[in-house]
A and B are shown apart, each in its own frame.
Chain A
């Protein structure tokens, strides 16, 4: 597509429920990133996919967080047993190759509210 598409744009969930957030990157972009933006914390790196390589999961805050990227395209970020501190905007970005020289294109994000 023309841009990075994220769905849903807003999600309200009850504490303890699981949620899935979806990211559809720009066609042809081999790199895909998930970031979390929360008040007072700025933007935190969560996970990075590059082609068929093993993802860099070093930013995932706990084992309740996981992500997949199927067929080198669409990615799903799953949060199990959501907690109130998981409330944040989850941003997805994609880039050509590694992004260093091409820059990253961000989606509009999914605003997650855990009540």
Chain B
């Protein structure tokens, strides 16, 4: 079955340090890939998406993600984390088959320390 894995449940990063959140998917073909962020009590906000072309995609709030087909990964990165980035981050895939629906990873909670 298709699946999305975010191996880190929690990550703590110092403010100003770099960040990488991992995401792997299990699917035979290249899916459409998304990263969302959820602040407490809020809905999900789209950070960035990939479906073709350049494998390094830029998103909002200074985030970027790189699609690596050979590793079935779509890791999210930010060079310098701000305290306001503390939130939960979800990787999601649309398997590009039949109906368009998203399968989400379990999420990674980012904590930012001073």
Total A-B pairs, Cβ < 8 A:
60
Range, interface on chain B = 20 to 34
User: B43 touching A91 by the CB < 8 A rule?
Assistant: yes
* Bound complex: CA A77 to CA B100 (Å): 19
User: A45 touching B43 by the CB < 8 A rule?
Assistant: no
Residue A103 CB within 8 A of the other chain: yes
* Bound complex: CA A103 to CA B102 (Å): 10
Contact A99 B105, CB 8 Å, known A4-B43, A50-B99, A109-B43: no
User: B43 touching A107 by the CB < 8 A rule?
Assistant: yes
* A interface secondary structure, majority: strand
User: B45 touching A98 by the CB < 8 A rule?
Assistant: no
Range, interface on chain A = 20 to 34
Q: Which residue of A lies closest to B45 (CB)?
A: A106
* B interface secondary structure, majority: strand
* Bound complex: CA A56 to CA B99 (Å): 8
- B residues sitting closer than 8 Å to A (CB atoms) are 32, 34, 36, 41-46, 49, 51, 90, 92, 94, 96, 99-107
* Cβ-closest 4 pairs across A and B: A98-B100, A106-B43, A43-B104, A106-B44
- List 16 other contacts, CB 8 Å, given A43-B92, A106-B45: A33-B101, A35-B104, A42-B90, A42-B106, A43-B104, A43-B107, A45-B103, A48-B101, A50-B100, A91-B43, A93-B44, A100-B51, A100-B96, A104-B102, A106-B36, A106-B43
